[in-house]
Amino acid sequence: MKYIFLLSIFFCSQLAATEYRVLSDAQTQRDIPIHISYPQDTSVCSSKNPCPVALLSSGYGVAYDNYKFISNTLNDVGYLVVAVQHELPGDPPLAVRGDLYTARSENWQRGANSLEFVRTELQQHMPKYNFASITLVGHSNGGDISAWYINSGLTSVKQLITLDHRRVPLPRLETVAILSIRGSDFPADDGVLYTTEELKQFDTCIVQVTDAKHNDMTDFGPDWLKNTLSAIIRAFIAGDCYRV
């Protein structure tokens, strides 16, 4: 019986490491699903020494909880990760024709609003985690949303990690450290990435991954790519720019 009891405790602790919630934003009348994954060692997190936080935004059409390889990577180095579902039933589809920057700006602003709501809401109830100085992580359109959030003037971000976002210019700020991982099958729009001179000015790391397909940067991508992306993110968090 003792052996069974110990197994049960371990199993429950594993389940407690993640949870799903829905946050209701009364102002925008949006019910926002989130997936929270906790650091491996939560005992070191306290109100006096809060653990770091990352808000993760998925690519368009990809479920918010389909980036667990990223969440696990960040959990391993002490981060609380909150994955946010941006596209909700009834939302207009993402524009695919015309001036995409203008046509998609409403989507990006809506996403930025959701990120700020999630940040401020959880900050009130999770004092052991540092929601005042966050890391934003986003793939594709989620990266555009994350960059838009910073470019709109919100100042609670200390780091930005984008995975092959293509439309919204990276922030030109000396206060935000930036990692942008680039795939091999689609280029970014003009002005999204840094010029040679800007690379010298800002705290940034641009990593091109050979044979990395844009749509493979999820849990459904090949293991070699997920392992490479995880290694790049780990290096950036440690203060290094990974060289593929």
Sketch the domain layout of the chain as residue ranges: 18-237
pLDDT band at 7 (very low <50, low <70, confident <90, very high): very low
99-115 residues labelled b (16+ CB within 10 A) or e (exposed): eebeebbebbebbbbbb
User: How far is the C-alpha of 206 from the C-alpha of 197, rounded, in Å?
Assistant: 14
Give the sign of the dihedral formed by CA 151, CA 155, CA 156, CA 161.
Answer: positive
CATH of 18-237, one of 3.40.140.10, 3.40.50.1820, 3.40.50.720, 3.40.30.10: 3.40.50.1820
Q: What is the pLDDT of residue 10?
A: 31
pLDDT tens-digit map of 66-118: 999 999 999 999 999 999 999 999 999 999 999 999 999 999 999 999 999 99
Q: What is the pLDDT of residue 82?
A: 98
User: How far is the C-alpha of 23 from the C-alpha of 170, rounded, in Å?
Assistant: 28
Is the pLDDT at 4 greater than 90, yes or no? no
Helix residue spans in the chain (DSSP H): 2-15, 68-76, 100-103, 105-125, 141-151, 196-201, 223-237
Q: What is the pLDDT of residue 244?
A: 73
Is the pLDDT at 1 greater than 80, yes or no? no
pLDDT tens-digit map of 156-197: 999 999 999 999 999 999 999 999 999 999 999 999 999 999
User: How far is the C-alpha of 178 from the C-alpha of 173, rounded, in Å?
Assistant: 9
Is the pLDDT at 137 greater than 50, yes or no? yes
Residue 201, classified by CB atoms within 10 Å of its CB into exposed (0-12), middle (13-18) or buried (19+), is exposed
